[in-house]
Amino acid sequence: MSERDTMDRDTSTRTALVTGASSGIGREIADMAASDGYDLVLTARREERLEEVAGMAEAEHGVSATVVAQDLAEPDAADRLHEAIRDAGIDVDVLVNNAGVPLYGEFTETDREAERGMLRVNVTAPTELTKLFVPGMVERGRGGVLNTASLTSFYPVPGKAVYGATKSYLLSFSRALAHEVEDEGVTVTALCPGVVETEYAERGNVDESGTMSGVTNDPRSVAEAGWNGFRDGERIVLPSGFASYAAQLTRVLPRRTVTDLGEQTIEEGASWI
Ligand SMILES: NC(=O)c1ccc[n+]([C@@H]2O[C@H](COP(=O)([O-])OP(=O)(O)OC[C@H]3O[C@@H](n4cnc5c(N)ncnc54)[C@H](OP(=O)(O)O)[C@@H]3O)[C@@H](O)[C@H]2O)c1
C-alpha cells in the first residue's frame, strides 16, 4: 500500500506544522495541506501574516489553524515551538521544515551574526524540530517530514557558500533519515526547487537584478510538486524539468566545472539555473 493510500484511508484529524508559512512556498504548502483536510500549525515571525493564512485555511477548507509566532533564529526556538504545540494538545503528523533565509556575499565579507542566524534557521531549527516531532510519528506509526532544500543542495555555490552548504545539509539529512524511518510508517521528502519568485529576493543581500533572471518558478507550482511528492512518499522532489536536468548534470560533470557553474548562478544572474 502506498503512502498516499495510507493517508487517504485514514479519516482521523491530522495536523501539519508548517514553518515559514507567512509567505512564498510555505504559505502555498500550508494551503495545499489544508485543502487535503489537514489542520494546521503555522509559524514564522510575522504573526499578522500567519493569522491571514490561518483565516483563509479555515474559511476555504474548513480546517482548524493555530498560529504560533516564533523567530527560528533564537537558540531555543525549536523547544519553545514544541512546548507551545504540546501545551495546545496537538499531535503533529506532518512537519514541513520550510523556513529558510539566504545570505549572499563572499565568505570573508559576510556578517558573522547574520550567518549565525541563517545557520539556526536553515540547519539547527529543522534538525531540532525533526528530533522533537518524529519520535511521536514513529510511535503512532504514521506521518512524515517535508524539508524545503534547494537545487543548490546538489552543488557548491561560491558567493553564497554557507547558504548552499545549509541546503546540502538538509538534503543529506533528509535522505539518511528517510532511510532510517522507512519501515516505521514515516516518510521524509526533500523539495529541491531552483529559483522561485518569492520574498526570498528581498532577504540576505540578494541581488535581485541577477538572481531573479533566468528560469524562475512560481511558489504555487513548487508547493504543489512538493506536497504531491510528499504524499506519494518521494524522497527527492525536483519541481521542474529544468531542476531535474540541472541536478543530473551535477552528477556527470567534473566537480570543478560544477563549482564554476555554481559561481555563475551568482555572477551571471542564474543564467543557467
Ligand atoms: N525563492 C527561491 O528562489 C528558493 C529556491 C530554493 C529554495 N528556497 C527555499 O524555500 C524556502 C522558502 O523560501 P521562499 O522562497 O518561500 O521565501 P520567503 O517568501 O522569503 O519565505 C521565507 C519564510 O521563512 C520565514 N522566516 C525567515 N526567517 C525566519 C526566522 N528567523 N524565523 C522564523 N521564520 C523565518 C519567513 O517568515 P517571517 O519573515 O514572517 O519570519 C517566511 O515565511 C526557504 O527555505 C528557501 O531557502 C527558495
* Substitution candidate for ligand 1 out of 200, 215, 216, 266 with most atoms within 8 A of CB: 200
What is d(CA 25, CA 227) in angstroms, rounded to the nearest whole number? 11
Mean residue pLDDT across the chain: 91
pLDDT tens figures, 73-102: 999 999 999 999 999 999 999 999 999 999
Residue 127 has pLDDT above 60, yes or no: yes
Give the model's pLDDT for residue 54: 98
Spell out the residues 6+ positions from residue 12 whose beta carbon is closer than 8 angstroms to its own.
Answer: none
Output the CA 248–ligand 1 centroid distance in Å.
25
Q: Which residue out of 68, 148, 163, 222 has the highest number of ligand 1 atoms within 8 Å of its CB and is therefore the one to mutate? A: 148
Q: What Rg value do the Cα atoms of the chain yield, rounded?
A: 18
Nearest-CA residue for ligand 1 atom 1 is: 196
Residue 15 in contact with ligand 1 by CB distance below 6 A = no
Q: Residue 99: CB within 6 Å of ligand 1? A: yes
pLDDT confidence bin for 203, thresholds 50/70/90: confident
Residue 153 neighbours by CB distance under 10 Å: 24
Confidence of residue 10 (pLDDT cuts 50, 70, 90): low
Q: How confident is the model at residue 162 (pLDDT cuts 50, 70, 90)?
A: very high
pLDDT of residue 267: 63
Residue ranges of the domains in the chain? 3-267
Angle among Cα 18, 130, 107 to the nearest 5 degrees reads: 85
Closest CA to 271 of 196, 195, 214: 214
Check residue 3 and give its pLDDT: 43
Q: What is the DSSP letter of 2?
A: -
Percentage of the chain beyond pLDDT 70 is 89
**How is 202-242 classified by DSSP, letter by letter?**
GSTT--HHHHTSSSEE-HHHHHHHHHHHHHTT-SEE--SHH
Report the CATH fold assignment for 3-267: Rossmann fold (3.40.50)
For residue 257, the model assigns a pLDDT of 95
Tens digits of residue pLDDT in 45-81? 999 999 999 999 999 999 999 999 999 999 999 999 9
The stretch 13-19 carries a mean pLDDT of 95
Give the HSE-up count for residue 111: Cα atoms under 13 Å, Cβ half-sphere.
8
Q: Does residue 98's CB lie within 6 angstroms of at least one atom of ligand 1?
A: yes
Q: Is 179 in the pocket of ligand 1 (CB under 6 A)?
A: no
